[in-house]
A and B are shown apart, each in its own frame.
Chain A
Amino acid sequence: MLDGIWIGLSTAFSFSNLLMVIGGCLIGTFIGMLPGLGPMSIIAIMIPVAISIGDPSAALILLAGVYYGAIFGGSTSSILINAPGVASTVATSFDGYPLARQGKAGKALTVAAIASFAGGSIGAILLMIFAPALASVALLFHSAEYFALMVVGLSAIAAFAGSGQVAKALLMTLVGLMMATVGEGALFNQPRFTMGILDLQSGFGFITLAMAMFALPEALFLVLDPSRSNSGGNGGDIKDLRITKEEAKKITPVIGRQSIQGFLIGVLPGAGATIASFLGYAVERNIAPKEEQAEFGKGSVKGLAAPESANNAACTGSFVPLLTLGIPGSGTTAILLGALIALNVSPGPRLMVDQPEIFWSVIISMYVGNVILLILNLPLIPYIAKVLAVPRNYLIPFILFFTLMGAYIGQNNATELLMLVGFGVCATLLRFANYPLAPLLIGFILGSMLEDNFSRSMQLYDGIGFILERPMTMGLLALAVILVVLPTIRARRVRKQELQAAESD
């Protein structure tokens, strides 16, 4: 193994390969900021370039750089303009955008960069040590467990179910789940709820909905309420970059926990970075002390650090099934698998034995990609954050353009724009009525996976019996209940204690 690591290191640190990583990171970061282009699309764009290089190690190093750059770029648009371009950065915008609104855009970007870096690095180390062992653990998960895992992920909506909001949050989640059923599911031979409209055949687009729920209402609110834009106007200060000692102390354990948890979730083929980020957010919120819990969703650094470290660690984790079993665990790794095959590398149990230099250079290059990204991006953050200092009569058209473009390039279909505007108007009205919009998006994202895995389990076990027959499913479902109920009980007890204290006075 040490031999392999050495080969990987010497490959990754050659001058040309370092240039590849730097180039890849820059390309990834800048293209990744466009909401319509997530890591998957950018890697797909770069594959012809990578293949023309010919050397598989160099090509993979380039793609790893692009990959990390794109993830970071995606977080940037979530934080600055509330426009999450990929599902895995939706949770980033929950607290990242409020922070930016409070004039702490620089700080939010720094926290995101550091959390991503830590998540990716810890993930890479875990991958190095545990990859072969974890491959077999990943196979313990059946459809039933995936279903239960999605239920745990749904508990993230608790963060938006503040006092008096529980019914509203649940209602929005239900709407999201219902919207996920539109179109052709994998398990049915019938298109559902498309009302005969061909554009609905493949369901609602994620980006269209994300832009309609988050970015568009924000832009409209900026127009309707001029006072809101001023607070964001001074967000470009360089001194805001600094994280206070107190904040560092707060986020360190969060990053540590979520890097490990995110990595483990990423290892499961079929779960991936999105689930990891929602779970990370939900878990951290629920175990946070009462007063910090209230901050979640309103600009908590913990709430930003959790999904950022989790989704990066999960991305690294998804390389475990790819490199050891040849099973792509996520859309992005599926594209990478295609690239590997085109480069005449066939991932699978034999890769580590037959071509150790490739196996290790992938892992080392992921680490190098991470380090380079941090070095490149930290100095850039003040300039990126300045976007918000742009006067609002320029900023609003810019956001609108970004949003519409994101929805269009995803599908190359103009009907998406009509849907975007329609849903955007609905979302704005809902926001006036104080309905939280994040649960809708969470429900929508998790909905199809929830349904597919649920109906597969129902078929395999001839009914709902799988919950009783599979202890791990039961355990995960119990965990979901605990995650939702425990904070409520704890809050009630605190309230009771306060009441008693008041009475004894």
Chain B
Amino acid sequence: MCQVSVFSRKSWATNAAPVKWEDKMSFIRARRLVAAAAMAAATFSLPAASIAEPVVESIHFLIPGGAGGGWDGTARGTGEALTKSGLVGNASYENMSGGGGGKAIGYLIENAASQHGTLMVNSTPIVIRSLTGVFPHNFRDLTLVSGTIGDYAAIVVGKDSPINSMSDLLAAYKADKRGTAIGGGSVPGGMDHLVAAMVMEAAGEDATAVKYIPYDAGGKAMAALLSGEISALSTGFSEAIDLANAGEVKIIGVTADERVAAYKDAPTMKEQGIDTTFVNWRGFFAAPGLPEEQLTAYQEAIAKMYATPEWEEVRARNGWVNIHNSGEDFQAFLEGQEKAIGDLMKKLGFL
């Protein structure tokens, strides 16, 4: 059912300007774009031309998960800051969910030659996946552009749930291990599962006994939480803030060192006596074999972005933490995390 939406590599507006890596574009796509552009032009007046001199003409963001998820928020937020500040002329987005993000990684590698205009957002799961070895690729097979931000993890419960804190959740779990399941948006052994297991382990429970139920998309996991199928949901903190602001969930624990300014009401795990912290980084990758000058342009645009007020607005709104690692620093950072998570996973019995 959840068929992947694949649409124009670039938004119709960018197509008006000649783009050099576009020569591989099939005439089918051209026809489609021309049709869409023509109809668009017939119906609407075109938006004003881009501001100043952009560093990069356009970026197509490939999002390995569904709309509304953490990857989605990161790509769209970054795109918003980049375009509003004039660093990038145009941004378009494509959601390609499936296989816990593996589908999009595979897609980017398989179609590398035609995907030079694409930046894929990814995060800690790409490290976990390469560790478990289930996926033939790892981050070394992609062009590393930049690590940009971090996001804490959070455990949330439905707004009407009797559970109000981590100790309530632990009590419920001890009372009924079979009936207290924790859901998440990743496959078993993936990040949401890892966080849930880490928290339970730190709270003195047997992490391997925790019932973790995976859902393909964030929407389905939310429906399961609200319907009472699962007792708690392991998710990203920025997603949790959105849900809490919409009045749908209560955040009962965040894996930060101290309370996060973006949502002060959320207690940390540490203050509840669960000594664990976790930061999920997010960053951008490009297709393998990306020409050097293009890579530099992307990295420059992202580096300049941090100083802009547009970025600060997006960052503050989402409660992200700036962690900027470009190029080789990014590689070193990823290798460090690969080791840390690997040790943890071995301890927890996932490896």
Contact = CB atoms under 8 A, between A and B. Distances in A.
Given A41-B5, A350-B246, 16 more contacts: A27-B36, A44-B5, A44-B7, A45-B8, A45-B32, A52-B47, A186-B216, A202-B102, A327-B223, A328-B67, A331-B1, A334-B67, A341-B67, A413-B107, A449-B1, A460-B229
Interface in A194-225: 196, 198-199, 201-203, 206-207
Interface in A129-153: 138-143
Contacts of B29: 409
A342 interface: yes
B267 interface: no
Given A52-B47, A338-B95, A45 B36 contact: yes
A300 to B, nearest CB: 26
Interface string A275-290: 1000000000000000
B249 to A, nearest CB: 11
A99 interface: no
19 contacts: A23-B43, A26-B39, A41-B7, A44-B5, A45-B8, A45-B32, A53-B44, A139-B223, A139-B226, A187-B214, A201-B102, A202-B102, A337-B68, A338-B72, A348-B247, A349-B247, A350-B247, A409-B6, A452-B216
Interface string B203-228: 00000000101111101101110111
Contacts of B28: 405, 408-409
List the 3 closest A-B pairs by CB distance, nearest first.
A338-B67, A184-B99, A348-B246
B306 to A, nearest CB: 23
A165 interface: no
B319 interface: no
Given A189-B132, A202-B102, A350-B246, A334 B92 contact: no
A84 to B, nearest CB: 12
B22 interface: no
A191 B137 CA distance: 13
Contacts of B178: 462
Contacts of B43: 19-20, 23, 27
Contacts of A184: 98-100, 102-103, 187
A163 interface: no
B294 interface: no
Contacts of B32: 31, 34, 37, 45, 409
Given A44-B7, A189-B134, A201-B103, A321 B188 contact: no
B327 interface: no
Contacts of A203: 98
Interface stretch (A115-123, A171-179, A266-274, A378-386): A266-274
Interface string B92-114: 11110011101100110111001
A40 B111 contact: no
A53 B34 CA distance: 20
Contact of A327 (B189, B211, B219): B219
Contacts of A199: 110
B67 A412 contact: no
B235 to A, nearest CB: 14
B35 interface: yes
A328 to B, nearest CB: 4
Contacts of B188: 187-189
B3 A189 contact: no
Residue among B39, B178, B181 with the most chain A CB within 10 A? B39
A315 interface: no
B291 interface: no
B248 interface: yes
Contacts of A409: 6, 28-29, 32
A198 B40 contact: no
B44 A330 contact: no
B67 A31 contact: no
A190 interface: yes
Nearest to A62: B43
A414 B8 CA distance: 17
Interface size band for B: 35 or more
A296 B36 CA distance: 38
Contacts of A46: 36, 40
B175 interface: no
Interface string A227-270: 00000000000000000000000000000000000000000011
A102 interface: no
B224 A201 contact: no
B12 interface: yes
Contacts of A328: 66-68, 217, 219
A329 B47 contact: no
B89 interface: no
A355 interface: no
A188 B217 CA distance: 15
Residue among A183, A198, A334, A341 with the most chain B CB within 10 A? A334
B331 interface: no
A142 B42 contact: no
A108 interface: no
B76 interface: yes
B233 to A, nearest CB: 13
Interface string A75-115: 00000000000110000000000000000000000000000
Nearest to A52: B47
B220 A269 contact: yes
A139 B227 contact: yes
B13 interface: yes
A198 B3 contact: no
A325 B187 contact: no
B11 interface: yes
Contacts of B66: 328, 334
B136 interface: yes
Interface string A24-35: 001100110010
A334 B100 contact: no
Residue among B39, B178, B217, B219 with the most chain A CB within 10 A? B219
B2 interface: yes
A326 interface: yes
B86 interface: no
B67 A27 contact: no
Contacts of A452: 216
A338 B68 CA distance: 6
B8 to A, nearest CB: 6
Contacts of A375: none
A26 B215 CA distance: 37
A456 interface: yes
